[in-house]
Structure 1
């Protein structure tokens, strides 16, 4: 297991990991409060100011899987992997308009989750349940993929093993994560995010300066990548790859960016980070400054073409970044970089488990199993649920082939965007009927899942000419492929709109127009 261990890199890795572990346990004393209340344990008491929120959201949204997977797509097929950059740019103007309204009404009524808001707005418990199950369902493989990112860097350190021993290092890491998350709640990832983000910035800045110098500049890097993509296409005519988008990639690229932007803040963990802010002003500050992470994301994507130019040989594209780091840097700095990537798994995994635990406790267990729960019982159950979520994520890694887990994650955005109409439209209007939104959600989930189901794996896009049972191929005349999530949510919206025209809502709305008022703008 240790025959090929890089001792220097491993020592540096362990030192930084130990530092962060200590911070995770100390975090329970930061902004001290009674953690036996779920809004304190799972939402930090809504007391995180602009800068803490900036680091928390940055650490929450830009993950280890981001650092591993985006360069991997670029390494494999080129420019298509850059879709994540425009989608993270699109999201921030959208958040500037919507999240302060959600924060205001949530603060007024004590909402902690999307399910809380949906129930209060539409008075429909089944819609609340649908929104909550969707969030948990989409989050589980997302947490598992943080483990994949961490496992890649641990393997690059030289660890090896077979069977259960192969996963021993990440199991130990996640046991530690589970313990300090249980103890400190959202305060732990918020505090750790400061260290994690600083390390990621140092790693990426060093990489985009040092590696191009070693490779002779970006002109040579892109020339080498262009030749490599051309060779791949020549060997496989069905493959679309290049330093620029091919005509067939344009439709998927655009729709994937738009659909992913719509889905991102529907995830429980993203909403948890936003609702933990101390004010709507803090959220607006972040929507104006978080694009700095989008800039870094573009630099991260460039690591994929650098790995090609460095002639890195890997069995899986996901190994490209770790092997590039080992090729480019001395062992001590490689250990530092690997620690940064590993911390990039721990912070979002912690917030994801907390967001899923809050959702399970508030919107599934409490309303349907134990309505008379006390605040302390809510907090205890949320802590236990966060442990179960982590165990479930480990089970995905142990029992499911990694490639299938990666394919399954593609469904996450397809599913999460289906709560967009209920949540975002609800911030501005009560015109939609709760039952209509529920039927629209079901239609979107069915269409999105059906389109994503492939013969061998899940696929994120589908051509807009469909095989309809008993009818045959139906050509819509658009002649391009689109992201399944965007296609499905359009179906969702159409269904919800048509039914809302027929079914007028009689359910109570516990919110009032003034509850959505953004105090920062009003001032």
Structure 2
């Protein structure tokens, strides 16, 4: 540890600096009363273009992205680039969906996607399913933010779980006090550090390694010598379909996650969202540069610590940067875990409070009751995330993140399609959710990885040969599960209408999906501060 003293000091200083900002955030743009979900959980729904850009970008591009995407390129090659196209196509999709969700949510005071589903389809059961799905899919995502911090600490020679527990205890404290304002303020520092580190890395490291030609030649040589048919600097016939469906499925899943919705609902008006959906692809350029760190690590001869491939990037920084700048880079990764972890825990807490506590446990809950329960739940969510890391091996928790995408996709018919049409019957949507979730879990259960010895839940690439096709091609299990969901939802809708089951009352109106800041239809929301 002593040889990494400089890195540890700089990492600790920057980590404590942003933690202090998290506590100060409670006084930033302070309202008269933080004891409401609109204020604590959505920052007063008042964030402008710059704050939203950093908040949403910091929410979607996490510490896990920083270490896992290049590690995947280091280990498997071109397949890891799926993250780049998926973060490009996601923004037009978000533009079509979340602008409408913003408007109808502001008219009715919705805080979560399940709030919207409850009002649109008049089904507390369907809303409960959406809420539980969001919480379950988000939990491993929060846990995975610890993977980035663990990788950095390992590289600095810091072992044991105590530092991670302390880091998340500090995170829990300032999130409890400041709510969404804390990650919104910290996001400025987090993104500035990441941009700085990556720009320096793509200039300095290739220069030290003899240029990009040498980097790509080294990557090609490694994969040419690899016995794994799916690995390589280029895609092949067996993994092209998996690449396309994984990119598309990941894009569809990303905007359905509760934390993505939370960042958007905190925006001041529709124009803020539109400008951000136009500007956020700048992060995709950054992600492409981050991915190339995997090939740089190959050329630099970097090896992981033990079997933890997530340490590839920290090890690369340790080898190629002076001690002081390596400390800055480690801090960028560590702080990169704080922003998304905070937003995710707030989003999961809001789902529990609005769609479980208020719906089933205390219907007459006041705004202050909701804020208090959400604060406590956010603490419990973080504790659960830490327990995932303490009691599950990292590889299994990473597989859980892949499972999370399959799970959250099953909310697409009710949430995304529900914003445009009420053609689906609520009974059909419930049946579709059950069928899609069951199909997804069955497929994931039957995915094995002989290389790691895991026979079940070893990834998300489902072999089409298990469906009777004579091919070695694989496909993203989430897309197949979603198709099952949609098919059953359509059939279930016809059956429900044939049986003349009740449709329920839709309390939304067509013009609610176009309301904007200052509109008299907006429900008692002060958007002026």
TM-score norm. by structure 2 comes to: 0.93
CA contact (8 A) 1:118 1:128 kept: yes
Aligned match of 1:255 = 245
Equivalent-residue separation in structure 2 for 1:518 and 1:483 (angstroms): 37
Deviation at 1:28, TM superposition (A): 0.4
Structure 2 residue runs of 5 or longer lacking an equivalent are 448-454, 520-529
Secondary structure of 1:378's aligned partner: helix
Equivalent-residue separation in structure 2 for 1:388 and 1:313 (angstroms): 36
2:12 to 14, 27, 51: 14
Secondary structure of 1:482's aligned partner: strand
CA contact (8 A) 1:408 1:458 kept: no
Aligned match of 2:416 = 424
Residue 354 of structure 2 corresponds to residue 362 of structure 1: yes
CA contact (8 A) 2:255 2:261 kept: yes
2:208 to 214, 239, 243: 214
Secondary structure of 2:493's aligned partner: helix
Secondary structure of 1:241's aligned partner: coil
Deviation at 1:239, TM superposition (A): 4.1
1:357-436 superposed matches below 5 A = 357-436=349-428
Per-residue CA deviation, residues 136-194 of structure 1 (Å, 9 max, x unaligned), is 0011111111011111111111212xxxxx11111110000000000000000000000
Residue 346 of structure 2 corresponds to residue 348 of structure 1: no
Per-residue CA deviation, residues 400-454 of structure 1 (Å, 9 max, x unaligned), is 1111111111101000010001011111111111111011011111111110113
Farther-moved stretch of structure 1 (511-520 vs 290-299): 511-520
Residue 236 of structure 2 corresponds to residue 246 of structure 1: yes
Per-residue CA deviation, residues 437-473 of structure 1 (Å, 9 max, x unaligned), is 011011111111110113244320112233xxxxxx5
Deviation at 1:368, TM superposition (A): 1.0
Per-residue CA deviation, residues 460-502 of structure 1 (Å, 9 max, x unaligned), is 0112233xxxxxx533x78632100011001101110111123
Equivalent-residue separation in structure 2 for 1:112 and 1:257 (angstroms): 28
Equivalent-residue separation in structure 1 for 2:201 and 2:167 (angstroms): 26
1:292 to 282, 300, 324: 282
| CA 457–478 in structure 1, closer or farther in 2 if over 3 Å, else same | closer
CA contact (8 A) 1:411 1:458 kept: no
Aligned match of 2:527 = none
Aligned match of 2:451 = none
Equivalent-residue separation in structure 1 for 2:313 and 2:89 (angstroms): 26
Aligned match of 1:23 = 21
Moved over 6 A (4+): none
Aligned match of 1:498 = 491
Aligned match of 2:85 = 86
Aligned match of 1:517 = 514
Equivalent-residue separation in structure 1 for 2:515 and 2:222 (angstroms): 52
Secondary structure of 1:465's aligned partner: helix
Q: How many equivalent residue pairs? A: 503
Equivalent-residue separation in structure 2 for 1:145 and 1:502 (angstroms): 41
TM-score norm. by structure 1 comes to: 0.94
Equivalent-residue separation in structure 2 for 1:156 and 1:463 (angstroms): 36
Equivalent-residue separation in structure 1 for 2:507 and 2:475 (angstroms): 38
CA contact (8 A) 2:154 2:311 kept: no
CA contact (8 A) 2:426 2:503 kept: no
Per-residue CA deviation, residues 65-104 of structure 1 (Å, 9 max, x unaligned), is 0000000100001010000000000101111111111100
| CA 180–519 in structure 1, closer or farther in 2 if over 3 Å, else same | closer
CA contact (8 A) 1:4 1:159 kept: no
1:130-141 superposed matches below 5 A = 130-141=129-140
Equivalent-residue separation in structure 2 for 1:401 and 1:506 (angstroms): 46
Per-residue CA deviation, residues 306-354 of structure 1 (Å, 9 max, x unaligned), is 0000001223321110000011100000000000110110000000000
Aligned match of 1:49 = 48
Secondary structure of 1:71's aligned partner: helix
Equivalent-residue separation in structure 2 for 1:269 and 1:106 (angstroms): 15
Aligned match of 2:193 = 199
CA contact (8 A) 1:64 1:146 kept: yes
Aligned match of 1:446 = 438
Equivalent-residue separation in structure 1 for 2:312 and 2:468 (angstroms): 40
Aligned match of 1:469 = none
CA contact (8 A) 1:59 1:347 kept: yes
| CA 112–5 in structure 1, closer or farther in 2 if over 3 Å, else same | farther
Farther-moved stretch of structure 1 (171-180 vs 311-320): 311-320
Equivalent-residue separation in structure 1 for 2:435 and 2:464 (angstroms): 17
Deviation at 1:252, TM superposition (A): 0.4
Secondary structure of 2:226's aligned partner: helix
Equivalent-residue separation in structure 1 for 2:2 and 2:76 (angstroms): 31
Equivalent-residue separation in structure 2 for 1:8 and 1:478 (angstroms): 53
Farther-moved stretch of structure 1 (130-139 vs 238-247): 238-247
Structure 1 residue runs of 5 or longer lacking an equivalent are 161-165, 467-472
Secondary structure of 2:35's aligned partner: coil
| CA 120–87 in structure 1, closer or farther in 2 if over 3 Å, else same | same
CA contact (8 A) 2:69 2:80 kept: yes
Residue 264 of structure 2 corresponds to residue 274 of structure 1: yes
